[in-house]
Amino acid sequence: MVKIGDIELGNFPLLLAPMEDVSDPPFRALCKENGADVVYTEFISSEGLIRDAVKSVMKLDVYEKERPVGIQIFGSNLDSMLKAIDIVEKTNPDIIDINFGCPVKKVVCKGAGAGILKDIDKMETLTREMVKRTKLPVTVKTRLGWDETTIRIVEVAERIQDAGAKAIAIHGRTRAQMYKGNADWTLISEVKNNHRMKIPVFGNGDVNSPERAVEMRDKYGLDGAMIGRASIGNPWFFNQVKHYFKTGEHTKPPTIFERLRMAEKHLLMSIDWKGEKLGVLETRRHYSNYFRGIPDFKKYRNIMVTTDRSEELLLLFSDLKKQFNSEPVLN
């Protein structure tokens, strides 16, 4: 049984990764309904929280149907991070996660996200002080290191554990790699196989099929998988992996009608949460995956990613559902 603090997650849990402009409440809810064991929010700036920035505060919204849910925050200033902890606690999440892995330049240049991998002592201090500040379990998400010459992830993980973190998720790339090349799970496995490690070690990066999830579990011996890009426009992925774990067989892929119904539900939930303009705009990134591999669908997808009007989208979904209601499952 894998546990984060006192939260029981079963054997080899599947976690929805924190993704900017993706892991919002509507998408988290859809992933939760479709098998995600833990969901994490988009990463939230500690500086934005303590300054009451609208966008940062809005990301604190969590709902009962998402639980267990973790709120992820980032920053490099200890005082700001501690104040952010106090703000986050009031929203009553199940977990607080620290982002030590975001590779984006605007985050890194401030010494936050993956930028802190240049200062392991500070990384440990921030974790330790944040653990002291809250009764909630604190977890950490990080990368292998800043670049290939500075990889110290086994030591880093030990120090994060000793600072009081209840779990660590490791993306199998360095900051220098960004999202290029292949994730190196061997180094994550070295962390897990370190006899001093007692907390769960979750793998992240390139878990893009049920077979890869099985490999992460059985070959590399990790405690769970954190799913990122494979879930975008594909909230079914979590249940697909779980079905494969149980049977060794793939589930039938969703029909075109089921894809349309999910995309419509996603859009309506997004509009309800963030309003017409953003609801339409920020759901676009999912449509390519919702309708991947469907022949002769490009003209419909082009409408979905260009229109600014929800009425036009909903009418299109309605018309297409009627058209494809009796369509067979895709091969």
Same-domain status, 61 and 112:
yes
Pick the last residue of a domain from 195, 228, 247: 247
Same-domain status, 298 and 218:
no
Q: Roughly what angle, to the nearest 10 degrees, separates helices 120-133 and 153-162?
A: 20
Same-domain status, 131 and 167:
yes
Is 50 exceeded by the pLDDT of residue 200? Answer: yes
Please report, for the domain that includes residue 51, its CATH number: 3.20.20.70
Is 60 exceeded by the pLDDT of residue 330? Answer: no
The predicted pLDDT at position 112 comes to: 86
- The band of 233, judged by pLDDT with boundaries at 50, 70 and 90, is very high
For residue 175, is it within any domain? yes
For residue 97, is it within any domain? yes
Cα-Cα-Cα-Cα dihedral sign, residues 314, 315, 320, 326: positive
Cα of first residue to Cα of last residue in the chain, in angstroms, is: 35
Question: Per residue in 248-275, pLDDT tens?
Answer: 999 998 999 999 999 999 999 999 998 9
Same-domain status, 224 and 297:
no
Pick the last residue of a domain from 247, 273, 304: 247
Same-domain status, 66 and 153:
yes
Same-domain status, 284 and 234:
no
Is 80 exceeded by the pLDDT of residue 231? Answer: yes
Q: Is 102 a catalytic residue?
A: yes
The predicted pLDDT at position 165 comes to: 98
Interior/surface letters 5-20, b for 16+ CB within 10 angstroms, e for the rest = bebebeebbbbbbbbe
Give CA–CA dist 78/126, Å, rounded. Answer: 6
Same-domain status, 214 and 302:
no
- The band of 42, judged by pLDDT with boundaries at 50, 70 and 90, is very high
Q: What is the mean pLDDT of residues 101-124?
A: 87
For residue 90, is it within any domain? yes
Question: Per residue in 219-228, pLDDT tens?
Answer: 999 999 999 9
The predicted pLDDT at position 103 comes to: 81
For residue 331, is it within any domain? no
Same-domain status, 261 and 230:
no
For residue 329, is it within any domain? no
The predicted pLDDT at position 327 comes to: 53
Q: Is 264 helix (H, G, I), strand (E, B) or coil?
A: helix
Range of the domain at 309: 256-324
Is 90 exceeded by the pLDDT of residue 183? Answer: yes
Same-domain status, 88 and 158:
yes
Q: Which of 4-13, 100-109, 283-292 has the lowest mean pLDDT?
A: 100-109
For residue 330, is it within any domain? no
Please report, for the domain that includes residue 269, its CATH number: 1.10.1200.80
Q: Which residue has the higher pLDDT, 115 or 17?
A: 17
Question: Domain count of the chain?
Answer: 2
For residue 238, is it within any domain? yes
Pick the last residue of a domain from 215, 247, 279: 247
Is 80 exceeded by the pLDDT of residue 109? Answer: no
Interior/surface letters 83-113, b for 16+ CB within 10 angstroms, e for the rest = bbbebbeeeebbbbbbbbbbbeeebbebebb
Name the active-site residue from 102, 156, 160, 267.
102
Q: Which residue has the higher pLDDT, 110 or 246?
A: 246
Cα-Cα-Cα-Cα dihedral sign, residues 169, 172, 175, 179: negative
- The band of 82, judged by pLDDT with boundaries at 50, 70 and 90, is very high
Same-domain status, 232 and 261:
no
Q: What is the mean pLDDT of residues 294-318?
A: 90
Q: What is the mean pLDDT of residues 6-32?
A: 95
Same-domain status, 204 and 267:
no
Give CA–CA dist 38/69, Å, rounded. Answer: 6
262 to each of 234, 256, 271, 295, how far by Cα in Å? 9, 10, 14, 19
Same-domain status, 224 and 82:
yes
The chain-wide mean pLDDT, for the chain, equals: 92
Give CA–CA dist 328/260, Å, rounded. Answer: 14
